[in-house]
């Protein structure tokens, strides 16, 4: 066991136990797979409450592994404090409940992840929180939507699934003018492309499940705040609602985070190559990718991403039918249909039937999400191999 930075082993010599004290300095933080931590006496317990952050009591309140993850992500986003949660959805929940209560009102961009939309539409409204969804055309003109009880706005740096790029600085100026907080979901971009806090956002959330951990083996979330006081408020919500992340998942996420710089560069390079290929294919009607010059926010994306455009793209088949989509999916041998994203292996998803299926038909149509829209999460494989497989699958469509 580990005591004050030392390991104590029991050695048997002539059947007599012997204690050997060894100073250990692990290169990698060990996994603190424990639900609770011990105290020597009441005095030590009081120190825990008098000096927060100096020791641990219960893993729901804090754990060395989850704290390490929070600290590393906070460095990447250059925040004043971060809180790790059990999923991307719980990160959004903690960020909103940290500052909103029954009777308050929030704004949300119309094109966001379907799960975020469902959380706000279906669950937060049951708690008495009002919501208004803004069409893309009104994203930067909030005066018609802001009410006396409006507290915040939620938007995505790069939207899911049609990868529209948010002008974070412009929106932050507007939210500050209106006296409300801006929460930015930075999952699609990652802090390697964009740091919303530096552009004026108040709070950033991530699904750590995606690019931050990067290997499709963790479910986690994180909230990063521009103000330390806000981070403490979110921490309180996480602790009280039990939204904490397990030590092992925290450890896995930290391990994945170590390679995010090199992974994101390969994701972006591959995605740009594949987007250009799909754009010229006769069986593809439309491609959404910020790296293409035809994308409406190409210049903005180039500036905010410092020349990187992300690993996510979507495209619509010219044959906009379920039959064509199924033929395409079945013909893919190594690219799975997996309703998630941002792993090192390429995968496809179908927004209409997965992430955005909870929206009404009218909402889906307004956003342009039809049956033929396929979302492609581009991995870090050799791009020539990916193009060959996509080519074969597209050839399978009549």
Give the residue numbers marked as catalytic.
60, 113, 185, 210
pLDDT, position 194 = 98
Domains and CATH numbers, the chain: 60-257 (3.40.640.10), 260-395 (3.90.1150.10)
Instruction: With H, G, I as helix, E, B as strand and everything else as coil, classify residue 365.
Output: helix
What predicted TM-score, i.e. pTM, was given to this entire model?
A: 0.92
Asked whether the beta carbons of 4 and 38 are under 8 A apart, the reply is no
pLDDT, position 356 = 73
pLDDT, position 2 = 39
How many helices (H) and strands (E) the chain has is answered by: 13, 14
Q: How far is CA 9 from CA 4, 38, 62, 66, in A?
A: 14, 19, 27, 27
Tokens representing 107 are 């704004």
pLDDT, position 22 = 62
Q: How far is CA 265 from CA 75, 228, 380, in A?
A: 19, 31, 9
Per-position pLDDT tens, the chain of length 398: 333 444 444 444 444 555 555 667 889 999 999 999 998 999 999 988 888 778 899 999 999 999 999 999 999 999 999 999 999 999 999 999 999 999 999 999 998 998 999 999 999 999 999 999 999 999 999 999 999 999 999 999 999 999 999 999 999 999 999 999 999 999 999 999 999 999 999 999 999 999 999 999 999 999 999 999 999 999 999 999 999 999 999 999 999 999 999 999 999 999 999 999 999 999 999 999 999 999 999 999 999 999 999 999 999 999 999 999 999 999 999 999 998 899 999 999 998 887 777 667 777 677 778 999 999 999 999 999 999 999 999 999 97
pLDDT, position 128 = 97
Residues near 270 by Cβ (< 8 Å), separated by ≥ 6?
Answer: 311, 346, 378, 379, 380, 381, 383, 386
Longest C-alpha distance within the chain, in Å?
Answer: 83
Can you say whether the dihedral through the CA atoms of 63, 66, 69, 74 is positive or negative?
negative
Beta-strand relationship, 130-134 and 105-109: parallel
Tokens representing 121 are 């539409």
Kindly report whether the peptide bond that precedes residue 161 is cis, defined as omega within 30 degrees of 0.
yes
Tokens representing 13 are 């010599």
pLDDT, position 55 = 87
């Amino acid at each position: 066991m580990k005591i004050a930075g030392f390991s104590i082993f029991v050695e048997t010599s002539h059947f007599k136990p012997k204690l050997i004290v060894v100073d250990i300095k692990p290169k990698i933080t060990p996994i603190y797979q424990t639900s609770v931590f011990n105290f020597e006496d009441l005095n030590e317990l009081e120190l825990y409450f008098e000096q927060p952050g100096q020791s641990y009591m219960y893993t729901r309140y804090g754990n060395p592994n989850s704290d390490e993850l929070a600290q590393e992500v906070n460095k990447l986003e250059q925040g004043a404090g971060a809180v790790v949660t059990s999923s991307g959805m719980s990160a959004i929940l903690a960020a909103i409940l940290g500052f909103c209560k029954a009777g308050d009102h929030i704004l949300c961009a119309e094109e966001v992840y379907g799960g975020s939309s469902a959380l706000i539409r279906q669950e937060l409204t049951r708690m008495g929180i009002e919501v208004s969804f803004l069409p893309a055309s009104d994203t930067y003109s909030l005066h018609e939507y802001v009410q006396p009880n409006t507290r915040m706005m939620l938007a995505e740096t790069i939207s899911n699934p049609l990868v529209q790029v948010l002008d974070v600085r412009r929106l932050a100026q507007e939210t500050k003018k209106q006296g409300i907080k801006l929460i930015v979901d930075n999952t699609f971009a990652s802090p390697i492309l964009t740091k919303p806090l530096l552009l004026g956002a108040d709070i950033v959330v991530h699904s750590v499940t995606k690019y931050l951990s990067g290997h499709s083996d963790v479910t986690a979330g994180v909230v990063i705040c521009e103000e330390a006081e806000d981070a403490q408020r979110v921490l309180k919500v996480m602790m009280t609602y039990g939204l904490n992340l397990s030590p092992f998942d925290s450890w896995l996420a930290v391990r994945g985070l170590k390679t995010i710089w090199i992974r994101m560069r390969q994701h972006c390079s591959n995605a740009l190559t594949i987007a250009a290929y799909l754009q010229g294919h006769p069986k593809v009607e439309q491609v959404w990718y910020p790296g293409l010059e035809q994308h409406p926010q190409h210049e903005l994306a180039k500036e905010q991403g410092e020349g990187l455009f992300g690993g996510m793209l979507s495209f619509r088949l010219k044959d906009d039918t379920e039959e064509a989509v199924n033929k395409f999916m079945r013909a893919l041998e190594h690219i799975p249909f997996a309703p998630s994203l941002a792993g090192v292996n390429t995968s496809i998803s179908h927004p209409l039937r997965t992430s955005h299926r909870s929206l009404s038909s009218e909402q889906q149509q307004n956003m342009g999400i039809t049956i033929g829209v396929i979302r492609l999460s581009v991995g870090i494989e050799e791009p020539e191999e990916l193009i060959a497989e996509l080519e074969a699958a597209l050839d399978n469509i009549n």
